[in-house]
A and B are shown apart, each in its own frame.
Chain A
Amino acid sequence: MQAAPPGVLIANSSVSTGSLPTRQPSRPVPPTRGPGDPSGGTPDPPAPRRLPTPIRPGAVGPQDVALIVVSALSSFCLVWVVFYQLTSLTGGLGFLVCWYAGFLALTWFGTSQVIERQVATDRVAGILVWTAGLLIIGIVIFIVAWVTYKAVPSIHWSALFTKDQRTLAASDPNLLNHVGVLQAIVGTLEQVLMATLMGVPFAIATAVYLNEVGTGRTARLVRTVVTAMSGTPSIVAGVFIYSIFIFTGVLHYSGFAASLALVVILLPSVTRVVEEVLRVVPSGLREASLSLGAPEWRTVWSVVIPTARSGVVTAVLLGVARIVGETAPLIFTAFGSQVLNANPLVHDQGALPLVILSNTHAAQQVLIDIAFQAAFVLMSIVLILFVLARYFSRTKSKKSGRAQPTEDDMMARYFLPIPIERSPE
């Protein structure tokens, strides 16, 4: 075909019947000047080309929605009759579970009748997976909303982050004006920070050993030990540190002792996740690095870990999330305190989980409020840490889109017109 002006395509069906040869030598002219144009002869402006209506094969249609809705409704009715009327069972949860099971069964049955058995099985599996996902979201939203709902109305923002609990007296009606959880915030941050600083390098080094260096029996032994360690009940970690360091008088009850107990918990979980992440790094990258004359430690440091960077950050986040709410190991180590103690090395130190532990069962409503406030602060800290860590782990990979000047001064050269002396050709 010749390069025709846009409007001609529409008239294709009428043109193609024998009139094509006459058009062949003509230049592509604007459609207004079509002297020998046999398609009607009128110089009509280019009509908009009609696109076919797009469809999505496999999209959810009215029939599918109807099947699901009908299944849900009839399951509800059926289970209601059976559950409450015939068997006189009680309880909402049991009803919900039965309703869901009936819904699945009816969906499968209905779909297999209306459409096909394989489609029905596929759909039921899909519903199960969707349910799991939605359930998780629901649980998280519920927890966050519940804690927020219970905590926020009683919070005095001016006191929460600036006052400790040294003036705590449950009988005081204006208690929350001058009592906060500052000592616990400081304690938790210090303990978690120290545990992370001690535990994460250790964990990454162990993972590197397991994946890059160790071979055979030794590595297998280490891996088994790490796995066993991740099964250590957290209270055992606390007792361990207590009996080794505090009972023997080496350390006081202190934030540092608490962080040691937290390391015991942090270490195996971070190690295992980092190991899995490192294993995914293609071995071709290691070979490429070695073939450039890099020593092995360089290969790990400059190629393997940066490649796995985002996964390593995730591993660290999981570890921090694991320890930030740990309560049991702190009981024997940090011990808890109502007074601000910013020095983690000596004396009892507060921690948010300990505040929650000691106040939740209190008789006075104001103490329960404090427990919920501590829970709220704890959740917020975790959230902020996650957002920060995600942000910092992603800044580097954003560069892939467009060329941008980097902080590296080596790169800055390319934005200056500097002549190259040596011609390589």
Chain B
Amino acid sequence: MTTYATTPPPPVPEDVSGLGHNRGTDFSGEAGQIDADGVHAWFSGRLVLAGVTLTMEKSKVTALIGPSGCGKSTFLRILNRMHEVVPGAQLAGSVRLDGLDIYGPGQRAMETRRHIGMVFQKPNPFPAMTIAENVLAGLRFSRVSAGDKGDLVEASLTKAGLWKEVKDRLGELGGALSGGQQQRLCIARALAVKPRVLLMDEPCSALDPTSTLRIEETIKDIADEVTVVIVTHNMQQAQRVSDYCAFFLAEENLPGRVIEAGRTETIFGNPTDQRTFDYVNGQFG
């Protein structure tokens, strides 16, 4: 079903796999660091992302900014192997989680996704499950025993800033919550499997300002335990929540790439590239 090949057309990267020093499938530790090296992406043979090399520091929040269609979301999905779910999607390059190549031989996508969770643009709690079942879904799916499930539900929902609002209605269906609450439920669900990295694909773009602020607080709260990579179109949000920033841009008829990356203060205050300056100051895009 998934058509994923490590060796697609032109820029064949030098190291697709085998870079990870420890080949075991055992990820360990708390928050993780992701190193993306020479990442390219294709959709049905069309190159959309070229040569992205980026490090997402452990326990920090990295924001990916840039205009629409510049490959931010594609890059994000490559980081936890969701890219290959799209029919016709291909990629090249290596992505390492704490040194272990997630595209290396013997690495399974399921295992990777358990360590690198994801929150999507549109809140998507499982409608047929209750709030508590939603939180525990990841564990149930991967058959991991959780110790005390009740504690885990409370801890996850508390981390996502939702516990106080839903503690008396855990048996209700997830769809009964408001949009902002649903998104925080999705965050709790992603956190319940104790990922080391959490990817967020424009998590607030469907939400009102109050819910957005709640989620930003949540991001700051969880950053100690989990590395966060967030795609956002909102410059203020990127400034508020992130420690590091990467500016993606796809110039005319060219695939998307990283123009500039660095500390958020630098990117917003004193960028070296003129295009970055123009973008963060709202002069194009």
Residues of A within 8 A of B (CB): 213, 215, 282, 284-285, 287-296, 298-299, 302-303, 306-307, 309, 396-397, 399-406, 408, 410-411, 413-414, 418, 420-422, 424-425
Contacts and interface: CB of A to CB of B under 8 A. Distances in A.
Contacts of A399: 130, 171-173
Contact of B80 (A289, A291, A414, A418): A291
A12 B147 CA distance: 66
Interface in B140-163: 140-142, 149-151, 154-155, 158-159
A295 to B, nearest CB: 6
Given A289-B137, A298-B141, A414-B170, A307 B82 contact: no
Interface footprint category on B: 35 or more
Contacts of A293: 110-114, 138, 141-142, 193
Contacts of B45: none
Nearest to B159: A424
B126 A288 contact: yes
Contact of A302 (B113, B117, B140, B186): B140
A309 B128 contact: yes
Interface string B93-128: 000000000000000001111100110101010111
25 contacts: A282-B124, A284-B120, A287-B85, A288-B124, A290-B82, A291-B80, A292-B138, A292-B142, A292-B189, A293-B112, A294-B110, A295-B110, A302-B141, A307-B127, A399-B173, A400-B175, A401-B172, A405-B171, A410-B149, A410-B150, A411-B130, A422-B151, A424-B158, A424-B159, A425-B221
B138 A306 contact: no
A306 B134 CA distance: 13
Contacts of B254: none
Contacts of B85: 287, 290
B261 interface: no
A285 B170 contact: no
A405 B173 CA distance: 13
B5 interface: no
A349 to B, nearest CB: 39
Nearest to A310: B128
Contact of B141 (A295, A405, A410): A295
A418 B142 CA distance: 27
B193 to A, nearest CB: 6
Contacts of A400: 172-173, 175-176
A406 B132 CA distance: 11
B171 A404 contact: yes
A12 to B, nearest CB: 34
Nearest to B168: A403
Contacts of B142: 292-294
Contacts of A424: 155, 158-159
